[in-house]
Chains A and B, each alone.
Chain A
Amino acid sequence: MSISLKNRSLISISDYTPEEICHVLDIAEDFEKNPHQNLLNGRIIASLFFEPSTRTRLSFETAIQLLGGNVIGFSSTAGTSIQKGESLADTITMVASYADLIVMRNPIEGSARFASEVSKVPVINAGDGANQHPTQCMLDLYSIRKTQGTLENLEITLVGDLKYGRTVHSLVEAMCNFNAKFNLVSPVELKLPSVVKQHIKDRNLEYHQYTELEDAIPHSDIIYMTRIQRERFPDPEEYEKVKNSYVLRNAMLENSKPNCRVLHPLPRVNEIHVDVDANPKAYYFQQAQNGVYARQALIASILGLK
């Protein structure tokens, strides 16, 4: 059966079936071997970033240029008609008439789904507030499959802010399709929400909650670290209480499995000590690089070029 993602917007990782996700990962693998492919041949991709972003925007724009495409758009709303009060629907309708595909980051939750309903061209969600960030999930899956050789039957340890971290929620949802076992390591205040835990329960998969990171390390295939986000805490005192809850140091990886890899969506603050960076099990910078291939694969698939 051939899989086509032509004209299929990607708003939430659950929009794609596990087979479709694996199809994108296969294409990404091809782009990693051969990143310069002039498939877009001058096509125009709109990159609409309503709030600042470093990795996501730059890796999308790199992906577009490697594919021989042109980018239009903005990296903040300063000086745009949005500041004059233009509605999202009007902005999207206008941009959709200029571009072949829209990549959008917007702090308003649900804005990407709405944009995909308004737009005549497909939309890729590059993050809609605390809701979804499916391309990050795609590159996380790519990194997991690349380092482990499979997505099936892995033990994933998720560390830090499991409550607000949207990448964690998407990753749990996606890995539930591949018979994963989950270790959840977080302060009590930042536990995985029950609605996300329900995905694990619905699939009858195993999960364990830990308060000590050391207890989960020896049997983990993937250690997925996250930043505790200051901006999520209305009370600065509450943030101070939990900000240093988990710091991964190189010595802690001594008893880890040989195939174990440390992932982080970045940016990190202090949750991974710099002494881990030189350890071959540290994979977060390659993970960020994989974002380019995953995004090339998505753009090419959605435009029906792969």
Chain B
Amino acid sequence: MEKRKELTVSAIENGTVIDHIPADKVFQVVKILGLEKVSNPVYFGTNVESKKYGTKGFIKVSNKYFELEDVNKIALVAPTASIIEIKDFEVIKKQTVSIPERIEHIVKCFNPNCVTNKEHDVPTKFTVIKDAQGNIKLHCHYCEKNTTQDKLEFI
């Protein structure tokens, strides 16, 4: 019932709801997904009360469904986010994002001397390393340096 109440705030007929985004990451998710450039109606909220996380943010995008690659991008900054697909005002699919073991083509390597930054058309490839505290590092397949979360830059 509670889910229904939340959706009625600005229910979308068709599209995607990205929920449980950390409150301070909403604008970053908007940017990563390039939502400032889309012509679809986009609604978002931040610092919304969340039973699970205290506060959260959400984004609702009408008439748009995301590819796996886009979901991966979200997982890097908002690992707690869930992706809810809506059709005719009904939830047809809900999934929690998970950080993949490998990240390709999405994030830049922080090392300016890495071949992916020096040569054109060398796509980035990383293995995701997660430490005991849950911090993420991306190990570059090419230069073997680790890009930490605070240095993440999306392509």
Where the two chains meet, the residues of A that have a C-beta atom closer than 8 Å to any C-beta of B are: 12, 87-89, 107-111, 113-114, 128-132, 195
Contacts and interface: CB of A to CB of B under 8 A. Distances in A.
Contacts of A108: 113-115, 118-119
Interface string B110-137: 0101111011111000000000000000
A89 B141 CA distance: 17
The 9 closest A-B pairs by CB, nearest first: A110-B142, A109-B143, A110-B143, A110-B115, A111-B115, A108-B118, A114-B115, A113-B142, A109-B113
B146 interface: yes
Interface residues of B, number: 17
B59 interface: no
A89 to B, nearest CB: 7
A89 B121 contact: yes
B140 interface: yes
B64 interface: no
Given A12-B144, A89-B121, A89-B122, 7 more contacts: A107-B113, A109-B142, A109-B143, A111-B118, A111-B142, A113-B141, A128-B143
Contacts of B115: 88, 108-111, 113-114
B25 interface: no
A129 B119 contact: no
A123 to B, nearest CB: 13
A132 B144 contact: yes
B114 A88 contact: no
A109 B111 contact: yes
Contact of B119 (A12, A89, A107): A89
B119 A88 contact: yes
B120 to A, nearest CB: 6
Contacts of A111: 115, 118-119, 142
Given A114-B142, A131-B143, A131-B144, A109 B114 contact: yes
30 contacts: A12-B144, A87-B119, A88-B115, A89-B119, A89-B121, A89-B122, A108-B113, A108-B114, A108-B115, A108-B118, A108-B119, A109-B111, A109-B113, A109-B115, A110-B115, A110-B116, A110-B141, A110-B144, A111-B119, A111-B142, A114-B115, A114-B119, A114-B122, A128-B143, A129-B113, A130-B113, A131-B144, A131-B145, A132-B144, A195-B146
The CB with the most chain A CB atoms within 10 A, among B115, B120, B121, is that of B115
Interface in B92-116: 111, 113-116
A111 B144 CA distance: 11
A70 B145 CA distance: 35
A233 to B, nearest CB: 16
Interface string B51-79: 00000000000000000000000000000
Contacts of A114: 115, 119, 122, 142
Nearest to B111: A109
The CB with the most chain B CB atoms within 10 A, among A88, A109, A114, A130, is that of A109
Contacts of A131: 143-145
Contacts of A88: 115, 119
A89 B142 CA distance: 14
A141 to B, nearest CB: 19
Contacts of B146: 195
Nearest to A195: B146
B119 to A, nearest CB: 5
B145 A109 contact: yes
Nearest to A12: B144
The CB with the most chain B CB atoms within 10 A, among A12, A111, A128, A130, is that of A111
